Amino acid sequence: MDLRHETPLPDTLFRIAAPLIVGFPDGASLRVTQWNLRALYDARLAERDLTGAMLSVPFQGVGVYFEVTLTPGDTPDEFLFEGLTGRQRETLGLFYRNLLSGRMAVTSDIITSLDTPVDLVPMEETEAEARVATSNRTPRPMRAMASLAVYVLIFVLVFSYLGALVIDRLSTIHVTAGHAAPASADPLSGQAIVARLDPAHVTDVWVGMSATITYNEDGQRQRLPAQVRRLDHTGPASNPAILLTVVPVSPTDRARLSPGMPVKVDLDRQLLRRALGLTVGGSAT
């Protein structure tokens, strides 16, 4: 006995002898009685312009219409379905399967078939989309260099700011609360600046230490070079303080200060000169 195994024919190859209505834009229609899920079989379709054809699937006295694209097949009477959507395939398949099984389609099945999600759209990027996306894009090496330059600039700015703060803290003692004293406050030098120094800096300040006096005159900051003249202990023992007397270097500058004028005093530690063993400060005149 010669046994031969063959793959069963899919259900799409079984023709159904049930009417489908093909409508045309000119209002004419054609009743097709031979069809399956692959194609319609009627030689009369070759005589018609199939552009814009509408297919009607009958359902309990009414029809479900949708547009179809038909192309000639392998035989003169075969016209293939082309480009059916998911909803169209499901609706046509429901009618086809019910005819094969001898079961009548119910309303809920028709509604379900019409509610079938549309065909999934491919998510891959097309060549045209890729060209548009990269047409105005800066080359990767240039973008990398630009990013590196931005990071370097940020680093330089932050490092410069922090470095300036460290250098200022190490090289300068700021005395913010000072005022010009009357001439009688310091008879040896005339007009002077008196300020209270934090006792924590008593070992960092010496007589003759260079200083800068800053004050406001007509909305403009003015700076005068000065020197430390005296250091005096003041205040009660429970809250001691150092009274700092600073005198402008130039006698002309001393005359520019009015008694009681608020000023700021910056004391120069001269760390570099001290580290090199050079002479710092000088005698105030």
pLDDT: which is higher, 240 or 20: 20
Can you tell me the distance from the alpha carbon of 267 to that of 226, in angstroms, rounded to the nearest whole number?
9
List strand residue ranges (DSSP E) for 24-160, in order: 29-35, 39-41, 54-59, 62-67, 69-72, 78-82
How much of the chain, in percent, has pLDDT values that exceed 90?
Answer: 8
- With respect to residue 124, please indicate whether it lies within any of the assigned structural domains: no
Q: In what order do the strands lie in the sheet with 78-82?
A: 62-67, 54-59, 16-23, 29-35, 39-41, 78-82, 69-72
Domain co-membership, 105 together with 182: no
The arithmetic mean of pLDDT across residues 89-118, rounded, is 65
Domain residue limits at 18: 11-114
| pLDDT tens by residue, 135-162 | 677 778 888 899 999 999 999 999 999 9
User: Could you say which DSSP state residue 122 is in?
Assistant: P
pLDDT band (50, 70, 90) for residue 234: confident
Read off the pTM.
Answer: 0.41
- Cα 244 to Cα 30, 181, 186, 202: the distances in Å are 114, 11, 12, 10
Residue 280 has pLDDT above 60, yes or no: no
- Whole-angstrom distance between the N-terminal and C-terminal Cα of the chain? 134
SS3 212: strand
Domain co-membership, 268 together with 175: yes
- With respect to residue 40, please indicate whether it lies within any of the assigned structural domains: yes
- With respect to residue 3, please indicate whether it lies within any of the assigned structural domains: no
Q: CATH number of the domain that 228 lies in?
A: 2.40.30.170
Quick one: pLDDT at residue 156?
A: 94
* Whole-number average pLDDT of the chain: 77
Quick one: pLDDT at residue 285?
A: 46
The arithmetic mean of pLDDT across residues 58-75, rounded, is 82
The arithmetic mean of pLDDT across residues 42-71, rounded, is 84
Neighbours of 97 (CB within 10 A): 14
Q: What's the CA dihedral at 6, 12, 16, 22 to 10 degrees?
A: -150
